[in-house]
Amino acid sequence: MAGNIFGKLFSITTYGESHGIAMGVVIDGCPAGVKIDIKDIQHELRRRRPGQSNIVTQRKEEDNVEIQSGIFKGVTTGTPISLLIRNQDQKSRDYDHIKDKFRPSHADFTYHAKYGIRDYRGGGRSSARETVARVAAGAIAKRLLEEWGISVHAYVNQVGHLTLKRDIRTLGYEHIEQNIVRCPDPELAKEMISFIKEVRKEGDTVGGMISCIVEGVPPGLGEPVFDKLHADLGKAMFSINAVKGVEFGSGFHSITMKGSQHNDQFINRDDKITTTTNHSGGIQGGISNGMPITCNIAFKPVATLMQDQTSLDTGGQEVTVTGKGRHDPCVVPRAVPIVEAMAALVVADHLLRSRSNKVR
Amino acid sequence: MAGNIFGKLFSITTYGESHGIAMGVVIDGCPAGVKIDIKDIQHELRRRRPGQSNIVTQRKEEDNVEIQSGIFKGVTTGTPISLLIRNQDQKSRDYDHIKDKFRPSHADFTYHAKYGIRDYRGGGRSSARETVARVAAGAIAKRLLEEWGISVHAYVNQVGHLTLKRDIRTLGYEHIEQNIVRCPDPELAKEMISFIKEVRKEGDTVGGMISCIVEGVPPGLGEPVFDKLHADLGKAMFSINAVKGVEFGSGFHSITMKGSQHNDQFINRDDKITTTTNHSGGIQGGISNGMPITCNIAFKPVATLMQDQTSLDTGGQEVTVTGKGRHDPCVVPRAVPIVEAMAALVVADHLLRSRSNKVR
Amino acid sequence: MAGNIFGKLFSITTYGESHGIAMGVVIDGCPAGVKIDIKDIQHELRRRRPGQSNIVTQRKEEDNVEIQSGIFKGVTTGTPISLLIRNQDQKSRDYDHIKDKFRPSHADFTYHAKYGIRDYRGGGRSSARETVARVAAGAIAKRLLEEWGISVHAYVNQVGHLTLKRDIRTLGYEHIEQNIVRCPDPELAKEMISFIKEVRKEGDTVGGMISCIVEGVPPGLGEPVFDKLHADLGKAMFSINAVKGVEFGSGFHSITMKGSQHNDQFINRDDKITTTTNHSGGIQGGISNGMPITCNIAFKPVATLMQDQTSLDTGGQEVTVTGKGRHDPCVVPRAVPIVEAMAALVVADHLLRSRSNKVR
Amino acid sequence: MAGNIFGKLFSITTYGESHGIAMGVVIDGCPAGVKIDIKDIQHELRRRRPGQSNIVTQRKEEDNVEIQSGIFKGVTTGTPISLLIRNQDQKSRDYDHIKDKFRPSHADFTYHAKYGIRDYRGGGRSSARETVARVAAGAIAKRLLEEWGISVHAYVNQVGHLTLKRDIRTLGYEHIEQNIVRCPDPELAKEMISFIKEVRKEGDTVGGMISCIVEGVPPGLGEPVFDKLHADLGKAMFSINAVKGVEFGSGFHSITMKGSQHNDQFINRDDKITTTTNHSGGIQGGISNGMPITCNIAFKPVATLMQDQTSLDTGGQEVTVTGKGRHDPCVVPRAVPIVEAMAALVVADHLLRSRSNKVR
């Protein structure tokens, strides 16, 4: 398989290039009987949409989804669900000036090396536009998870040096969508927005971090030994454009901890086995333990700058790459729904996989 | 699939429980014509072996590998390679005292929740002993990679608060195996060893970090969009017991960087396209660019303590878990060959997968 | 996976219901550099199209294919190829009269049992209309095979009791498409056509057989032990609607043969190893030996009759199913390109898979 | 994947060569909680064992199975089950006389072409000895199916021209194992045995046919559109050595039938939906309908003859292949448990897969 299929039982295949006719996804393995309203999908696409605010790319895309199969009278039938989002902006630009150039830290050179041919228009298949298909599929996965009482929330907790200090449990999820940077602390959000605008003015970009929490996952999801729940979640996150680091629970901080500090003590709360702390991030031995699954994802600064850069062309000659076009100065505000989608897809897959654990 | 198979084309299936008869692995998809000396496998197993020094577990295992199939007259035949390592220490302990207890931050509770039954002897399938099979398979993958000029090196760069400050390229790989903690800086290694002994004396454990570098990878390995090379490497690393975080290239540090600092400039060096810096960690758009692939992996402190801990039993009643047995106070020295094995397995898989990229 | 994905390296995902918006397929894994003319795809679709002659269903479908991704300037780029065929006839009929009835020997009852819900319009996903997506994908596979000198030909060799007695090598492939039943013997073709018309007049249907020959396959394709070339071809053929039997080479006739008659003798013809006979059907030990791959596929009579039939409804009550609509009295003339498509998809997959057999 | 892994959720990986150290299988995905007695496995292995009667090969193998993992206190734990059968006869013969020769209709030439190297001892990996691992795994699958009330029975219904005329339902399964040829008709069995002995005396071999019936399968197993239940069963059967043809239900006979004869009428029998006839062979639209699944499998005559044959060596020179060794004159008596094992593995896999069909 050439890497465009994801998931074992709840599996998705995405297709489409940034400036082709359409982006799409086929979901194979969604169980029958899930109620789907097209508005659920559209809602998620709007959260990812370009042009949604003045700190993201101004590319013009409505991102209206078309359901082509698999849903009959508002309910999934168990057959493949095909979702299609047409590209509207695909003919508006001339990409001839970069067709033979390798943009720094883009996938131009690596695609060229791999295939010997590439669709150079807007990055082609390597463009983050591909994630629109994931978000559409993730909306279906979220609906399935809802039927099982599982919820997924992500938010921005860092932009450049600006770091969220307050606890999301105190702040509340309801604040995430109340500002354009998707940081649940309203004060910090303002600072982040100003900082992103400043960076953009310099023709530069900056990195950021997203946190993701999955709640309501029953104990027992995740397969030993390779398909540990966080291993599959980790892969999912690393497959998102610009992600350079992922950590679960105590993460990199655990390096300096002692076992006596790190171990999560089991307690019996109202006849339910739970833990007093959650350094494990909801996963022990690769399997969910019923506590919230917590994850941080580091995004590098976007590679497209509004500055001139020296680079090479396909012939190995030095060239100048000029900053043009409409791009995100910081990827994290729009990446929040993408992170949620990938988390939902993985948990949905493992929810189905866990059905085969016992003889009956 | 229940998670015990890893890899698409170079794929491995592992089996065995900590205190069962044997640990084993079947490799399906190793190409014909790779020369294998059993010593190559044994060499890697010795690097992972318990009892190899006084800072690791003193469990007694020779870890001798038996080749059961797939290699004829010292050469792979293209058929499945079965490697078996017998457990020698499996009958020496009584595990009755923990059979109904959930050890904190172990997989006892989650396996119980998942399967309703578990082999409680030494953690059964959830034990890190399973990684012996991965190291054996990784030795075969390394041999295949050698035929293509690809090498894999890992080393310890942090134990608790003790962090490697010097560059591995200055220090040289040859220093890694010259001390029992596998840190290439001899002075720091001594400090790490003292610290680990101190922690052990307290009946406690501590976390650590391993760096891994893969060199000689040709441009073009890795599949868009889900099976990005670092996504598959990330999954591989997260599948190793006790791993809580993974980063590639600039990693979490990239969050605070500007795009103008982070972008790796392409240059033509002797008619070879390369980059001046390597913040990308050798991977751009999920595909190798010919630069060294660099990765950091964070390990939490081992959960087994030589201290009494409060916990629950399968009936939800409070119990005391007493520290017993022989365990690693810090996992990273023995995890170095495991990290290398997982990296080698992923790169070998993608080496084969890349053969289908072009029509001829 | 829920069964809508086929192939390991050259893999396809199909979607769509008979009376939904569109049928489609996404090809993941077609190598870069294959020249594709949309006419190549359209040509195959026309061979499968309803309404192509007066012995097939008169459902009105133009079956025009739209290429949505993966092909840039007439060449495959290595990224997923999405092909879409809109349904034109989807709103023209009322299916309310069968929505609660189980048509005999259709998939109505089994889908109902499996999913608890079904798209009853024209059989929904279980309709043979799904094969339009396979034929489109098969056209791409055929183009890839052509680059390697491999060709696929199928033809009708039996309709009811009317059996082809003459050898296809004498008759020539060029006669296949010269009549509407796709039998290379012009005289027999006429008889078959008359017979099908007669059967239709009775409101009945009849079975048939198709032969398929793949030529130019190099020795070495097919993977031991489960993914034998003919095992994967066999699965492919059985996945086509109405297929009840498949045989390779000597097939069922081999039961009564002696080994001394059946063995194919190797001879050296112009420094090429070949065999004097081909009872093996081009495959030995599951691997191609360079001889033509030969296969026969048995199709049962179509289940939809223009007669009243007694059956049950979803409540288990006896009902009458009335013959209505436009259906094929015999499936084989239109199944010829479907058989070719499935054969091409399997051989393309194994062509790519064979690239990993040797170390270099 | 290189073809040694079979099944999606209940998946097996086999390894081992005919004259290597051992044959083995790892089952990944057997649910926890299945009671396994080693005698269940041994019973099936004895049915397949060489030397079991005077009409099969006299190779000496005890075929004792060792359970290496996955079963704890007589119950499956959900972790991989490793089963190993040592080869006892592996050193007893000298294979130097055929190491450079291509035996007619064996896999010698095709393995050579594929891998450039092969283990020539007794056919290596291409030997039917590999099926011992399948039978061991099949015994576990049968136990799982028993928990769901599903049974699998196979028997010989043809040897050469000698065909079973009587109905198995009249004869009864209990007669199958009462004779060494495994034909439920005692009179015909005697004729078959005489005929096989006669053929052996001539140094020749002969083909045969096996029928397989799976009973108790609930409606709803099998996945549209590619992983139809009979498509996966078909692949499973074609993966068995020497199989040249497979048919389900009416099979090849359906070609000459009319739809009005072939359609299976639904009736309500004691509030259970069933059919009056079973031309569908228990599968409609690729999904089980609750009726018995019926299948016929054609085996060609064994390629190893006790006669001299002309052939080629690896250099393309003409050589004589002399008949030597101990081989089956007719494969079907020993293939009965192999057919059952493959059927059980497929149905077990689809039993697990069907658990994801509905939202709850």
Domains by residue range for chain C, with CATH: 5-354 (3.60.150.10)
Mean pLDDT of C37-44: 98
Chain A residue with minimum CA distance to C349: A1
Q: Provide ipTM, 2 decimals.
A: 0.98
Q: Which residues of C touch A81 (CB under 8 A)?
A: 15
What's residue D93's pLDDT? 65
Q: What is the pLDDT of residues D292-333, one digit of tens each?
A: 999 999 999 999 999 999 999 999 999 999 987 778 999 999
User: Which residue of A lies nearest to B328 if distances are taken between CA atoms?
Assistant: A259
Q: What is the mean pLDDT of residues B242-249?
A: 98
Mean pLDDT of A141-168: 98
- The phi and psi torsions of C66 (rounded to 5 degrees) equal -115, 130
Neighbours of D263 (CB within 10 A): 29
CB–CB contact A268 B104 (8 Å): no
Contact call for B288 and A263, based on CB within 8 A:
no
Distance from CA of A248 to the nearest CA of B (A): 5
DSSP character for A229? H
Q: Yes or no: say if C159 and C298 are a contact pair by the CB < 8 Å rule.
A: no
Q: How far apart are CA A106 and CA B170, in angstroms?
A: 29
Q: Please identify which residue in the block is written with the tokens 């990273």.
A: B332
User: What confidence category does residue A98 fall into, taking pLDDT thresholds of 50, 70 and 90?
Assistant: confident
B72 contacts D117 by C-beta, under 8 angstroms:
yes
| Tokens coding D230 | 């009979």
Q: Mutating which of C9, C68, C112, C132 best tests the A interface, going by the most A Cβ atoms within 10 A?
A: C68
Q: Cβ-count burial of B358 within 10 angstroms (0-12 exposed, 13-18 middle, 19+ buried)?
A: middle
Query: B215 pLDDT exceeds 80?
Result: yes
Nearest chain A residue (CA) to B221:
A114
pLDDT of A92 over the 60 cut: no
Q: Does residue A180 surpass a pLDDT of 80?
A: yes
Position C210 pLDDT exceeds 70: yes
Mean pLDDT of A70-83: 97
Give chain B's length: 360
Beta-carbon separation of A79 and C29 below 8 A: no
Q: What average pLDDT does range A63-73 have in this prediction?
A: 97
| Inter-chain CB proximity D32 and A79 less than 8 Å | no
Q: Is the separation of the CB atoms in C30 and C140 below 8 Å? A: yes
Which chain C residues are Cβ-neighbours of A4 within 8 angstroms? 26, 28, 79-80
Provide the shortest C-alpha distance from residue D73 to chain C (in Å).
Answer: 32
List CB contacts (< 8 A) between B208 and chain A: 255
Subunit contact B124:D13, Cβ cutoff 8 A: no
**pLDDT beyond 60 at B169:** yes
Averaged pLDDT for residues A61-83: 97
The CA distance from B39 to the nearest CA of chain D, in Å, is 19
Q: What are phi and psi of A344, to 5 degrees?
A: -65, -40
Tell me, what's the pLDDT at B60?
Answer: 84
Q: What is the pLDDT of residue D352?
A: 98
pLDDT at A228 over 60: yes
Identify the pLDDT of residue D313. 96
Contact A147, A160 (CB under 8 A): no
Using 50, 70 and 90 to split pLDDT, how confident is the model at A243? Answer: very high
pLDDT over threshold 90, residue C60: no
- Separation of CA D24 from chain center: 16
Q: Minimal Cα distance from C73: which residue of A?
A: A119
pLDDT-derived band at B41, boundaries 50, 70, 90: very high
Least CB–CB distance from D298: residue in C4, C254, C316: C254
Q: What is the mean pLDDT of residues A266-273?
A: 95
Check A124 against C72: CB less than 8 A apart.
yes
Tokens for D118, please give them. 């092969």
User: Across the interface, which of B2, B22, B75 has its CB nearest the CB of D29?
Assistant: B2
State the Cα–Cα distance between residues A349 and A8, nearest whole angstrom. 7
C272-330, pLDDT tens digit by residue?
999 999 999 999 999 999 999 999 999 999 999 999 999 999 999 999 999 877 789 99
Q: What is the mean pLDDT of residues A284-295?
A: 98
Q: How confident is the model at residue B327 (pLDDT cuts 50, 70, 90)?
A: confident
A359 interaction partners in chain D (CB closer than 8 Å): 31-34, 76, 144, 147
Q: Is B287 helix (H, G, I), strand (E, B) or coil?
A: strand
Which residue is closest to C144 within chain B, CA to CA? B359
Among the partner-chain residues C76, C356, C360, the one whose CB lies closest to the CB of B29 is C356
Decide if A117 and C72 are in contact by the 8 Å CB cutoff: yes
* Binary contact (B147, C360; C-beta < 8 A): yes
Q: Do D358 and A78 touch (CB under 8 A)?
A: yes
Question: Which site among A79, A120, A125, A349 would you substitute to test the C interface, given the most C Cβ atoms closer than 10 Å to its Cβ?
Answer: A79
Distance from CA of A347 to the nearest CA of D (A): 14
Residue type, D337: P
Nearest to B115 among A115, A310, A357 (CB): A357
The 3-state DSSP class for residue B271 equals coil
**Amino acid B136: pLDDT:** 98
Contact D1 B68 (CB under 8 A): no
Q: Where do we find the tokens 């350094």?
A: A279
- Residue C43 is encoded by which pair of tokens? 């040509």
Q: Do C33 and B78 touch (CB under 8 A)?
A: no
Asked if pLDDT for residue C92 goes beyond 70, the answer is no
Q: CA separation (Å) from A118 to A98, A126, A286, C71, C82? A: 12, 10, 38, 10, 17
C-alpha span between C197 and C203 (Å, rounded): 10
**pLDDT for B98:** 85
**Residue A93: its pLDDT value, please?**
65
Alpha helices, DSSP H, located in B94-167:
108-115, 131-147
Question: Chain B contacts of A226, Cβ < 8 Å?
Answer: 3-6, 235-236, 239
Encode burial over C30-61: b for 16+ CB neighbours within 10 A, e otherwise: bbbbbebeeeebbebbebbbbebeebbbebeb
Can you give the pLDDT at residue B293?
Answer: 98
Locus of tokens 């396994």:
D36
More confident residue, C235 or C90: C235
Q: Which residues of D touch B (CB under 8 A)?
A: 1-5, 8-9, 11, 13-17, 20-22, 24, 26, 28-29, 32-33, 66, 68-70, 72, 75, 77-82, 114-119, 124-125
CB contact under 8 A, C13 and A28: yes
Task: Quick: pLDDT tens for A134-147.
Answer: 999 999 999 999 99
Question: Contact partners of C by the rule of 3+ C-beta pairs under 8 A?
Answer: A, B, D
Residue C204, token pair as written in the block: 């009945």
Q: In residues, how long is chain C?
A: 360
Q: Which of C10, C15, C114 to mutate to test the interface with D (most CBs of D within 10 A)?
A: C114
Residue C106: closest CA among C297, C327, C318: C327
Q: Which of B55-59, C22-26, D209-213, D254-258 has the lowest mean pLDDT?
A: B55-59
pTM for this predicted structure: 0.98
- Four-point Cα dihedral A239, A242, A243, A245, nearest 10: 140
A-chain residue closest to D147, CA distance: A359
C9: chain B residues, CB-CB within 8 Å? 356
Report the Cα–Cα distance between both ends of chain B, in Å, rounded: 32
Contact D258 C205 (CB under 8 A): yes
Please give the pLDDT value at position B92. 55
Beta carbons within 8 Å of C327's beta carbon, 6+ residues apart: C57, C205, C302, C304, C306
B332 within 8 A of B241, measured Cβ to Cβ: no
Average pLDDT, stretch D56-63? 89
Model confidence over D249-297: pLDDT tens digits? 999 999 999 999 999 999 999 999 999 999 999 999 999 999 999 999 9
Chain C residues with CB-CB distance to D310 below 8 A:
265
Amino acid at C173: Y
Q: Does D225 sit behind a cis peptide bond, omega within 30 degrees of 0 on the bond before it?
A: yes
**Cα nearest neighbour of B113 on chain D:** D32
Disruptive mutation site among C145, C349, C356, C357 for chain B (greatest number of B CBs within 10 Å): C356
A139/chain C closest Cα distance in angstroms: 19
Residue entry with tokens 């997968």: B353
Q: Under an 8 Å CB criterion, which residues of B touch C?
A: 9, 29, 31-34, 76, 78-79, 144, 147, 224, 352, 355-360
